[in-house]
Structures are given as structure tokens and as C-alpha cells.
Structure 1
Amino acid sequence: MTSILETINGPEQLRALSVPQMELLAKEIRREIIEKVSVRGGHLAPNLGVVELTMALHYVFDTPNDLLVWDIGHQAYVHKLLTGRRERFHTIRQFGGLSGYLRRDESNFDAFGASHASTSISAALGMAAARDLQGEDHKVIAIIGDGSLTGGMALEAINNAGSLKKNLIIVLNDNDKSISDNVGAISQYLGNVRRMQTSPSYQRLRDMAKGSIERLPVVGDKAREAAGRAETSFKQFMMHSKSGAIFEELGFKFFGPFDGHDIETMLDVFENVKKVDGPIIVQMVTKKGKGWEVAEDDATKWHGPGAYDYTTGIIKKNAGDPPRILKCLPMPW
């Protein structure tokens, strides 16, 4: 029986799927990554965490006309599978095979290639500026992790983007991790954002507001239009999180946090934010290692493992010769 993944040769096939089909595809993608990466190792947990997010981005945005700028490429395996490289995916990180990172000469879907973190926002801002100079009208989307967001290059880019006011979307993949646990004030701030919007009191407030809208009497066309505007305003209020005030003070519109594994929610969110002008940050909360229990339980260990047995979840020991001890040379003094 043919899997859904086997029918995906590009985003155009992805966009023809229903949400339930996309949810099934997400499981197939995770299985493909777990099995293929097990042979030679690679970046595992970061990619398992962005399956639904990557699918939603390619579904909503007109890639490759709209540009996806991935930070460093640790999380780009799903992107490769969805953009015509599925049949060569087993060659990833091998001589003559697919790169473990993004390469512009590998695919026209790879808008930017880098092997250093914190570069995506500045690259995307440059692409947005070039787009405007050329009178073009496509979207530019940078995808960056919360760990990379703390890098100096990323903060400098946020400083520039907030003042230039270019149409630019930054998707913050917030999994509360770098390679290991995050530290520092920005990480603590984002953690407070997550805790506030998942708190019972916040959820009750949201449910009360939604219930009030649903109870509005609808009589006649004008009343129906007013109710529709009220519902739209409510959605905008819920999307527009004041918990992102630090970014709004820097000139961004901040939306989120949203569940980065809920496909239907993300499709709705991205459809809305692509209509908003100016620089935007959208916070998507994901779980590193999502879908494979051993990687979820120890995302640091499974960030970039070597070869492993995917049936047992045991990382294989290096079968090569032990390292040689080089002869110490005499010091010149």
C-alpha cells in the first residue's frame, strides 16, 4: 500500500491534503526520519519537533516563491522531504548525497544556506529589502529557535528589522531548548509567556469571551455583520498576545504562543498573519523529539546522535579503532 509520503514530490501535493491526511503524513515523516537517520546519525530530535510546523508553512505559503529561511538547518530534514528530495533522503550526510544542512545549489526551495546559528533573521531581512527594491511582492519567513534567538546576530537583526518596518515574518520555534537546556533572561521571559497563556485563569478568560460572542443575538443583516466583526476582533485579540510586549516595544507585532503540533491551528494562524503588514513574530511552542518517546525523554542526548538501533532506541558504539595518542613534542623552551 502506497503511503501518503510516497505521493509527496513537492508542496503542491501537500496542499491537496485534508487536515486528517496531514496528521497521518506527520506520523509517516517521523518514521522516515527515525529510520533513515539511524544508519549514520544526524540531527534527530530537532527535526522530530518541527514536523507539523514545517508542513503548515509549506501549505500556507507559496514556496518556493515565498522564501523560507531556516536558521542553521538543524530542523530542515522535514523541509527536504517535502521539497522533492524524498527519494534521495537515505543519502543524507553521505559523500555525494544530500547535505545535512541547507544548500542553495541543492534545491530552489533552500533560500539560504548556513552552518552557524542566529543568522536567519538578518538573511531574511536582506531578502525582504531586496524584494522591495525590485518591486516584488512575495513573503519572507525566517524560522528560528528560541536558543538561536539569544545569539548576537539574531538580536542585531531584530534591532534592524524593528526599525526598517519591512514586511517580514519571524516564526519562533520555541521548544525551550538549544542543544541542551536554555539559560538566560530571554529564555526565562519566553517561559513566562508560555506559562501565562497556558494558565487556567487565562483559559477561563478566553472561554468567557468566546462564550459572550456566541450568545450575541443575531437579527438581520447588520446585526449579523456586527457579530461577525465581534468574532473577528476576538480572534485578533487572542492572536495578539500582549505577553510579547518586549518585542512590540522593538517595533514588532507579536502573536502567540500557539501549539506547534496542532496543524489546523497553525494553518489558521499563518493564513491570518500573512495578511498583516510590517515585521511580525509568531511564537510556536513545540516539543523537541516529538513522536518518539526515547527522544522526547532525553532531547539533549538525541539532538544529534550517531548511528542507533531504532527498534531498541540504543545508540551504537563507534566500531572504529581507538584514537591514537600522538607523541608529545618537546617544548621550545
Structure 2
Amino acid sequence: MRIIKPCTYTVLSLALASVTQMTMAQDAHHSMPMSAQHELHSSLDSSHQEMQTGIESSQIEHAEHAEHAEHAEHANVSSIASRAASAQHPVDHKREHGGQIYQATEIDSRWLNNADGRGSLKTEIESRIGTDENKLFIKLHADKAESQDADYAAQVMYSRMISDFWDAQIGARYRVDEHQVTDKEQLDAAVGLHGLAPYFFETDAYLYLGAEKQVSFSLETERDLLLTQKLILKPYLNLDVVLSDDSAYAQKTGLSAVWLGLETRYEINKKLMPFIDVAYSYEKGNQHTAWQAETGSEKQWWYGAGVRLKF
């Protein structure tokens, strides 16, 4: 059975009512006076106008429904086309979510004196470049005791993020020790972790593998304690552990060196930060070999000041 649309049903109903009224009017036309006939004509005209208005309203309503349906169809087509275009050409938000490349460099230079009045200049430079996931670390270290030649070390590490707070690193370390007659230059493989330990301790832990069974482990950890927004305390711990060493200038195995200190710095701004430093050090000494005599352990306090630059 065909279903009659509301618009068509309304038009047919109005037309049938009009025809019925006209038939009844014609039957009564001949039997009524002139005044009544005039009133009947007026009523018929009014009914005809109402029917015409109803037909026009139904047509307008039908046209509006058709227009809405057409707009909805166009909107669905546009939505499908937009999704298809997005699937073919996905938007790359990598730069907005950690994919941008950044660079940071820190220079730390301090002059320390021990209880005997002997001074030592220590300088460290650390530079990193890359994204949040992949970075290149370059570390330079120079240690020059008063009236002695300096020792140098350069370390290059590839760093890969393995969790929210830790990077795994692998690379190499190059060392120069001017105190030695032979084997002044050494090259070690390095592997380690860089990140934030629990309770916000910034930590670097490395295992070094070198020639002549030189295997050692180093740990550096520190934490900032804010007294004010500019005055900051930083306790720190640096230690070295020798696991094995058969070189000509071998160090004693076990805990080889420890630096435990407290740095107090004032941040003039985020690029310039002077500080004072107090530290306690322990060094275990060297083994007896054909190239060196055995030395005992040393314990001493150090006092000094320095400056840190960041850019």
C-alpha cells in the first residue's frame, strides 16, 4: 500500500471539502433569496481563499523539508570527504609534542682550597642538543691543581629516553693525564643512565670499560633546595668505584674517590649564578706498579667559590 505524504493528504482534503461546499451551494442557490445568495457567494469565496492559503502553506512546508534534507545530505558528504582527506594526509603534531630540537650549555668553574692552602681549579662544561627522545651529550672536564699540570676528560654520549624520567646513554670517554710518563691518553667505552631519581635527585651513573682491564663506575647526584626563588642550596655527591685495573698507573680497587659537598648559589638570573662551595673528599690511592709507588688514602676539606653560566 502506498503511503500518502502529509502534504498531499492536506491538499486532497481541502479540495474535497471545497467541492462539497460548492455542490451544496448550487443546490440551495435556486431556492434562496438574493440577499442569502450574496452571503453564500461571500462564504464560498472565503472558503476558496482559505483552501488556496492552505495549499500554499503545505507547498512551502514541503519545500522547506526538502531544503533541510538537501543541506543534511551535503553536510554528510562534506564530513565524509574531510575524514577521507585527513586519512590520506594526516596532520603532523610532532613538533608540538616534544619533537622540537633544543640546545642547552652549562659552564661550571670553581676554585677550591684545602686545609693546607693548596688550591685546585675545576672546570666542567656540559652541552646537550636534540629532542626530548633523542639527544647528544658532550661533557668536558678539566682539573688543575696548583703548580701542577692539568688533567682533561671529554665524553660524548648518545642519549635515548626510556621512561618519563630516565635516559639511557652510550658513548665514549677520552682522558689525558699529564702526570703519567706513559699511557697519557686513554679511551674508554661508556654506558649509563641520566635522569631524575626519587625525591628529585638529578643523577648520572656510568660504567666505563678501558684497555688493560680498566673497569670503573662513577655516580654523580645532586638536588636543589630553594631557600628563596634566588638563593638555593645544592647538596651533591660524586663517587668513583674501581672494579679492576691492570694498567701501569693502576688505582686500588674498591671505593676510589668520594666528594660530598654543599653548594650555596645566588641566581642573579637564569644565565649567571655565583656560588660558594664546601666539600669533604676521600681518595683511596694508587697500587704499587713498575711505574708508580703505592700511595695511601687522603681525607681533606675544601672551601671555595665559583660561577655557573647557562645559555
TM range (shorter): under 0.3
Structure 1 length-normalised TM: 0.23
Structure 2 length-normalised TM: 0.24
Quick check: which has more Rg, 1 or 2? 2
The structure whose RCO (Cα within 8 Å, separation 6+) is larger is: 1
Q: Which one has the bigger helix percentage?
A: 1
